[in-house]
């Protein structure tokens, strides 16, 4: 499954009654436009353990070496990867290759902090569920209850629609591009909210189509702030990250960050690496900065329910409706649950999400039955973190992701 999203089609944006601007989105989940180097195929070390529940969860040196081999073509002198695959009560395989900063020649480690882009969405969704659990909101509330400035056209759009990407609101990134704002230019949350307020046109009738949208999760961050009295950075740190001892994880709403983060890179026309980072200040759809080691702690919460409780955690895997209000199948529908997708492959259910934004790429996977978390993060814009994560899962689980 491919969750590094980019709205690659050109869309027409009606910014006034007399002006239609055609814009190609610079989505927060970018797929590389150039061909990626294939991840090496590595023979798995669980070929005799392919039945469910028979995976070897104890540390295996051959498995460790096979995972390392996946990354052996990554240069130690270029942007690279941090990776981890960890059973809750068993083996952990982790490592890093490449440079945190080319300029300073700092190596990446498993404690290096990266921008994890749209992998952030699950934390926003979880914050919404926590507030619902406390009776402070309902998923079927209209977004206008919390962000009335959007205008009457958005009244049918509920928080549930935003969570499942069926709200029909235009992606704020498309509006930014239509306004000639680059991802390397400054852009505040207030500016994007103003763009949305001025748009007043839905892309499609609410609840009739699946269309991956950063606007929905950006707006959900505003809902958290309206309901809790704290912005998403403060709320998530107090209610999610601190209780889980995710001490190197936080949302970011201002750049540069007050703590060290791996520099993000892309390549110029000559093929040389250049720093590529975005100062956009939005939270909710992205902007969590974390480490692979902290993401394991988050993965464990899907089983323990340390934060939120087990019943709330189970709700993260609830899929959105399959049919529209008229009873017709939702157009282009996908298995997107609450901030995560339901993965297909490996002959077992799992949760996943990928991210890509201005110099960074990430992928997160959680296998509930095996109590296994896999996370891969890179500071190179065109890195295929999803492919590396799935190849890592293949080594451990002994099943192809291509089924």
Within 8 A by CB and 6+ apart from 13, the residues are 20, 21, 22, 23, 170, 174, 175, 178, 199
Burial of 44 by CB count in 10 Å (0-12 exposed, 13-18 middle, 19+ buried)? Answer: buried
Within 8 A by CB and 6+ apart from 48, the residues are none
> What pTM value is reported for the model?
0.88
Question: Distance between CA 335 and CA 322 in Å, rounded?
Answer: 9
At residue 164, the pLDDT reads 98
Query: First vs last Cα of the chain: how many Å apart?
Result: 10
Question: Distance between CA 29 and CA 7 in Å, rounded?
Answer: 9
At residue 344, the pLDDT reads 83
At residue 55, the pLDDT reads 79
Query: Which residue is associated with the tokens 């000639």?
Result: 180
At residue 388, the pLDDT reads 98
Taking only the tens of pLDDT, the chain with its 403 residues reads: 333 343 333 333 333 333 333 333 334 443 333 334 456 555 555 543 444 446 778 888 999 999 999 999 999 999 999 999 999 998 999 999 999 999 999 999 999 999 999 999 999 999 999 999 999 999 999 999 999 999 999 999 999 999 999 999 999 999 999 999 999 999 999 999 999 999 999 999 999 999 999 999 999 999 999 999 999 999 999 999 999 999 999 999 999 999 999 999 999 999 999 999 999 999 999 999 999 999 999 999 999 999 999 999 999 999 999 999 999 999 999 999 999 999 988 989 999 999 999 999 999 999 999 999 999 999 999 999 999 999 999 999 987 655 5
């Amino acid at each position: 499954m491919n969750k590094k999203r980019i709205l690659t089609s050109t869309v027409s944006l009606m910014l006034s009654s007399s002006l239609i601007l055609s814009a190609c989105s610079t989505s927060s989940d970018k797929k590389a436009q150039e061909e990626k180097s294939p991840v090496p195929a590595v023979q798995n070390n669980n070929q005799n353990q392919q039945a469910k529940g028979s995976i070897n969860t104890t540390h295996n040196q051959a498995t460790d070496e096979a995972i390392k081999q996946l990354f052996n073509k990554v240069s130690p002198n270029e942007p690279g990867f941090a990776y981890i695959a960890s059973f809750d009560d068993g083996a952990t395989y982790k490592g890093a290759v490449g440079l945190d900063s080319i300029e300073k020649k700092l190596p990446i480690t498993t404690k290096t902090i990266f921008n994890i882009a749209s992998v952030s969405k699950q934390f926003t969704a979880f914050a919404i569920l926590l507030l619902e659990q406390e009776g402070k909101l309902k998923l079927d509330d209209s977004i206008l209850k919390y962000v009335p400035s959007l205008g009457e056209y958005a009244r049918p759009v509920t928080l549930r629609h935003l969570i499942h990407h069926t709200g029909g609101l235009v992606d704020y990134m498309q509006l930014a591009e239509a306004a000639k704002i680059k991802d390397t230019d400054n852009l505040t949350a207030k500016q994007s909210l103003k763009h949305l307020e001025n748009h007043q046109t839905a892309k499609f009738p609410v609840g009739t189509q699946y269309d991956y949208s950063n606007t929905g999760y950006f707006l959900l961050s505003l809902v958290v702030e309206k309901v809790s009295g704290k912005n998403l950075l403060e709320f998530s740190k107090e209610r999610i990250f601190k209780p889980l001892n995710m001490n190197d994880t936080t949302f970011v709403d201002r750049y540069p960050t007050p703590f060290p983060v791996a520099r993000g890179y892309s390549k110029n026309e000559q093929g040389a690496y250049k720093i590529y980072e975005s100062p956009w200040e939005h939270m909710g759809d992205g902007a969590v900065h974390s480490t692979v080691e902290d993401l394991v702690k988050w993965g464990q919460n899907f089983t323990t329910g340390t934060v939120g409780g087990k019943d709330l955690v189970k709700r993260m895997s609830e899929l959105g409706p399959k049919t529209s209000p008229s009873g017709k199948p939702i157009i282009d529908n996908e298995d997107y649950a609450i901030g995560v997708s339901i993965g297909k492959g490996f002959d077992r259910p799992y949760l996943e999400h990928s991210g890509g934004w201005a110099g960074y790429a990430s992928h997160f996977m959680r296998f509930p039955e095996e109590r296994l978390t896999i996370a891969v993060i890179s500071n190179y814009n065109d890195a295929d973190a999803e492919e590396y994560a799935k190849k890592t899962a293949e080594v451990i689980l002994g099943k192809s992701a291509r089924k």
